[in-house]
Amino acid sequence: MGRAVLVGMIVTALTLCISACGATDGISPMTSEQAASTVMGQAASTAAEPVVTTGVAPLTTETTASAHLPPVPRVSFAAPRGDGEGCICYVEDQCGCWGPTGFCVLPDKSVAILGCGDQSIEVFSHTGEPLRSIDLAGVASSVVDIRWWNEAFAVLEFNSQPKSVILVDVGGNVQRTIDLWPGMDETMEGGLRIGKDGELALLEPCGSMHVLTDGQGDPLPPTQMRQASPLLAFRGGPKFEVAYQQDGPARVRAVGSSEWLPVGQDDASGGTPIASDELGNTYFRVDRVMYDSAGESVAAGDVLVKLDRTFRQVGHAPIDWRGLVMFPIRRIDITSDGNAYAMMPMADGVHVETLEFSADPLKPPAR
């Protein structure tokens, strides 16, 4: 039942987000701050028309990878579906078939996957070898996201009152619980983020961010948690603001700049900020409907877009989600060294892949 309620809330939240973040023809995009105000029924002023620049910066060592870092092993494996250690739990109910709700890549490039039903966290090596099973029985009942933060797993709990973030160590022991503000009814569809100074934060679907802790990991007072900031900054990256529009990709600008830049190509829409890396690149997931040569819709996919410190595009990685049994909230992860990973819950198991970036124009997919 909790899962069905969660689905309904996410659908409702996305509907509100589209209504709030979109702009009718002839009206300039709204910033995340204005969008949040519209949802609450407050009067929001019209955003200034963004100055859009479409330049794409060339791929360079400085913007893509550090020459001092050793080669990173490619992750590519399929975790088997099933119960027990080394397997990922799937659940079938009145809403359909459910796979894992989230994953994260650890500093040693091992992969932690949260099985559906919130029974355990299964940890695999980059080659798919089972390493550890962390029992979550009695810890959480409806986890919607997972992050590795301050040497523990931060799991975002949906069903608790108040909603909370539970910190669980690798032995399955609860270190502490961070309660969110009383009456918190915002959707958790945006998931957890790590802020510029290491603070834990919660992202709203329309781009505003709630900071939950300080840089040392201590919870902020509830009144501060409640305040949503339209300015975002992730660990390693610059501060920025996002503006959304009804059609086409979102726009982004650095704090202090008047120049709005697209976060995707013209055939993309929206834009969810994911993370920054230690070189200052920032990553956005944008939606892309894929068409065949005849112009017929083939499938929905995502494109992971890589932006440099000035928020110009330096690369993209298309992701084809065809065959997924569900869309987890956390299906893309970025590590501090700038490597990107996708988790794909398929009927035969959970596929985890390293994403490859390219500066070449995106092409229509084959059928």
Range scoring the smallest mean pLDDT among 13-17, 94-98, 338-342, 350-354: 13-17
What six digits make up the tokens of 325? 């049994």
CA distance 125 to 232: 32
Record: fold of 2-354:
Neuraminidase (2.120.10)
Pairing of the two strands 51-52 and 259-262: parallel
Would the pLDDT of 182 be above 90? Answer: no
- What is the rounded CA–CA span in Å between residue 354 and residue 189? 23
Amino acid symbol at 2? G
pLDDT band, very low/low/confident/very high, at 117 (cuts 50, 70, 90): low
Residues 6+ apart with CB under 8 A from 27: 46
Categorize the per-residue pLDDT at 363 as very low, low, confident or very high, splitting at 50, 70 and 90. low
Q: Give 26's pLDDT tier (boundaries 50, 70, 90).
A: very low
**How do residues 232-290 score in pLDDT, each as one tens digit?**
999 999 999 999 988 889 999 999 999 999 998 887 889 999 999 999 999 999 987 66
CA distance 187 to 62: 37
Q: pLDDT (tens digit, 9 = 90+) per residue, 59-110?
A: 333 333 444 455 677 889 999 998 888 999 888 878 777 778 889 999 999 9
Query: How many Å apart are CA 268 and CA 262, to the nearest integer?
Result: 10
| pLDDT: which is higher, 200 or 34 | 200
Position 121 pLDDT exceeds 90: yes
Confidence of residue 190 (pLDDT cuts 50, 70, 90): confident
* pLDDT value for 328: 82
Query: What percent of the chain stands above pLDDT 70?
Result: 74
pLDDT at position 252 is 97
User: Residue 320 has what pLDDT?
Assistant: 85
pLDDT of residue 311: 96
- Would you say how long the chain is, in residues? 367
Question: Which residue bears the tokens 């709990």?
Answer: 157
Q: With contact defined as beta carbons under 8 Å apart, do 146 and 188 qualify?
A: no
**Radius of gyration (C-alpha) of the chain in whole angstroms:** 20
Q: Name the average pLDDT for the chain.
A: 79
pLDDT for 8 equals: 46
CA distance 60 to 141: 45
| 306 close to 285: Cβ distance less than 8 angstroms | no
